[in-house]
Amino acid sequence: MRSATRWIVAMMVGILVNMGVLGAASAAMVGTQDAMRADHRAEIDRVLSRDDVRQQLLAYGVSEEMIDTRMDAMTDEELATVANEFEQLPAGAGVIEVVGIVFIVLLILELVGVTNIFSGF
């Protein structure tokens, strides 16, 4: 019984000592620049994780390690610029605009008399 009590006391002392060593959790504010950098980095990582982008980069001879190394070396402004360019790229757009421009050019050429495309309709 005495050894059991001694063992329990030793465990309690060990636990109390370790509680002081571990310390309290510290909460610090995350700066705006750090949060924006993480957000931009996540946006770039999201785009680079797509299979078609990864295959194209591999076709150019760019490895994933090279991408990570270069992204780590980028400044906050460069990361923001790249992330903003990804946001501004049209997703699947462009086809309608190209068809519309071709139609307008063909219409103008038909009205001027250069082509004879629409007279058959």
6-57 pLDDT, tens digit each: 878 787 777 766 666 555 666 677 777 777 888 888 888 887 787 877 887 7
Domain for residue 72, yes or no? yes
Q: Token pair of 80, please?
A: 């923001």
Domain tally, the chain: 1
CA–CA separation, 48 and 56 (whole Å): 10
Domain for residue 111, yes or no? no
Domain for residue 67, yes or no? yes
Q: Within 13 Å of residue 121, how many CA atoms lie on the same side as its CB?
A: 4
Q: Token pair of 63, please?
A: 């490895």
Identify the band that residue 68 occupies on the pLDDT scale cut at 50, 70 and 90: confident
CA–CA separation, 97 and 103 (whole Å): 10
Domain for residue 117, yes or no? no
Q: What is the extent of the structural domain holding 49?
A: 30-89
Domain for residue 21, yes or no? no
Domain for residue 56, yes or no? yes
Domain for residue 7, yes or no? no
Domain for residue 1, yes or no? no
